[in-house]
Amino acid sequence: MPPSLPTRRWTLLLAGVGGLVTDTAFPDKSWWPMAYLGVALLLLALRRDSARWGFVVGFVWGLGFFLPHLWWANEAVGEPIGWIALSVAEAGAIGSFGALWVWVRRGSWVRGRPWLGVLAVAVVWVAVEQVRGRWPFGGFPWGALAYSQTDAPLLRLAPVGGTALVSAVVVVLAALLAHALADLRRLRIGAASAAFVVGAAVLLAPWAVPTGARAEAGTLRVGAVQGNVPEQGAAWDTQARAVAANHAAGTEALVAEVGDGRLDLVLWPESASDIDPRTDDGVAAVVDGAAAAAGVPILLGTQRFTGDVRYNDYILWQAGAGSDVAYTKQHPVPFGEYMPHRDFFRQFTSAVDLVGTDMLPGTGMALLPVPVERLARTVPVTTAICFEVAYDDLIRESVVAGGELIVIPTNNASFGRTQESTQQLAMSRFRAVEHGRAVVQVSTVGVSGIISPNGVVLHQSELFTAAQMAQELPLRTSLTLADRLGRWPTVAVAVLTVLMLGAGLLTTLRDRRGDRERRGSGSRAATTARTVRQPATSGSRGGGGVRR
């Protein structure tokens, strides 16, 4: 082992600490520079040339990151098995990154070119991040490095290349920092200084990227109602009716605060009325009364039951007319809203039966047409429900199709006072800048927030309180470069990773073949040398025979 490498025990400690440090870059702490340090520690721990050890190191880093980052999953399930299983699965993806990076850097075109390696490791990271955001069970993009940068200069890169570009630049900065730390350890001050200077330039350069926030298609006067939920303990239907009544009361309080005729649209969250007002007359009367008091349409979340399955709908309700427009959630949460392979997983825990009725995905685009009387037109509103805020394609497709405002209705009641809701708000901020759209995240219990198209939080509520917010928001129609590029950055990253992996494997095979040939040549040379040194045998001209 080269003397510059720490022992395996210290390597694992380095990786575990790196994961813990990276989590502090995300809400609630939001110490965004820690993402660079945390990933740099991972890269320093991955210096051994063993793909198997690379997997172990990446896995340990993943546990250090995801166990605290996904703590809210324990709160939601009520027992640790779901939290641990999810964290282990996501850590496995980081383990795959560790193994892939070891193989890729063996390539002859990367080996010996540290500055090229800085770019290559960023490409590999993003490829793994994109895969875990899509597979298995539709993927789980939570914890993408890009979402840690909503207070950093790198946020300005979101409209250029979305999460792929921002995550890649985070890894570039981490790799530069890793090089600088390694050079400082060897007292190579010049090389370390160069890495620091380049890193500072990369970090500050995004300030030159403009972000648009002005209205392009008028403005929309939006009210958002966080109704809060009653104390646990009542029957499901009693609680559901109480939640709907809370949001109706919040709407009346909002109208009293801003005045009549001062709103164009009122937003309620996901699960604002888990009893469907389209089929229940009592709840319909409550919602209709609130819409009449506001004098404008209401968007609200409800559940639609069909046979032994259910759907998560976000519907448009107009006073006296009810609802005939809805968006159905496309990405139900596996193990939270539906239970895949229920019989298999029941062997490990009875918690699978906490999901009594499986939720099925919708197929329609996340876009709702909202009639706005003041503007004398219909405004297309992008609507991504709860965890769907983490999925790149879903929101982008809706914005490209015409969405002028983004609404993220969510229900955070199951996650207690954990950091889940603020993590979600950070993603909403990222989407605002990525697509150049105002965003409203509205929750049953908080955190709710209204965000300008350049990522500034204009209003933010507290957890487990009733709150109302109102803001005149710009409607925008222009598309960012990230919108226009669509999936091409992801495709490019995937292709590059496959090519780099192939080059690394070919170099590995060639090197091993060369080693075998050198060993074979050495063996033949040694055999020849031994033969030349053999003493003369009896009967030879130079000797006197063998003594007996």
- As a dihedral over the C-alpha atoms of residue 423, residue 425, residue 427, residue 429, rounded to 10 degrees, the angle is -140
Q: Which residue in the list 90, 329, 337, 434 is annotated as catalytic?
A: 329
Q: Cα-flanking dihedrals φ and ψ of residue 371, to 5°?
A: -70, 130
β-partners of residue 408 are: 441
Q: Using CB atoms within 10 A of its CB, is residue 414 exposed (0-12), middle (13-18) or buried (19+)?
A: middle
Check if 329 is active-site: yes
Q: How far apart (Å, rounded) are the C-alpha atoms in residues 504 and 517?
A: 20
Query: Would you call 293 helix, strand, or coil by DSSP?
Result: helix
Distance of alpha carbon 72 from the chain centroid: 15
CA dist list (Å): 522 to 513, 515, 526: 14, 10, 6
Alpha-carbon Rg for the chain, nearest whole angstrom, is: 29
Q: How far apart (Å, rounded) are the C-alpha atoms in residues 547 and 473?
A: 108
Backbone torsion region of residue 407, taken as left when φ is above 0, otherwise alpha when ψ lies between -120 and 50, otherwise beta: beta
Give the full edge-to-edge strand order of the sheet including 457-460. Answer: 367-372, 377-383, 405-410, 439-443, 449-451, 457-460
Tokens 């596996």 locate to 334
Residues 6+ apart with CB under 8 A from 533: none
β-partners of residue 267 are: 224, 299
Q: Which residue in the list 90, 129, 386, 434 is annotated as catalytic?
A: 386
> Can you read off the two tokens belonging to residue 277?
């007002």
Q: Using CB atoms within 10 A of its CB, is residue 63 exposed (0-12), middle (13-18) or buried (19+)?
A: buried
DSSP assignment of 136-197: STT---TT-GGGG-TTSGGGGGHHHHHHHHHHHHHHHHHHHHHHHHHHHHTT-HHHHHHHHH
Query: Would you call 66 helix, strand, or coil by DSSP?
Result: helix
Instruction: Give helix 158-185 / helix 34-45 axis angle, nearest 10°.
Output: 60
Check if 252 is active-site: no
Q: Which secondary structure element, helix H or strand E, spans residue 17, and what is its range? A: helix 8-23
Instruction: Give helix 488-532 / helix 114-132 axis angle, nearest 10°.
Output: 120
Tokens 């062997």 locate to 347
> Can you read off the two tokens belonging to residue 313?
């709908």
β-partners of residue 472 are: 221
Q: Which residue in the list 270, 337, 404, 434 is annotated as catalytic?
A: 270
Catalytic residues: 270, 329, 386
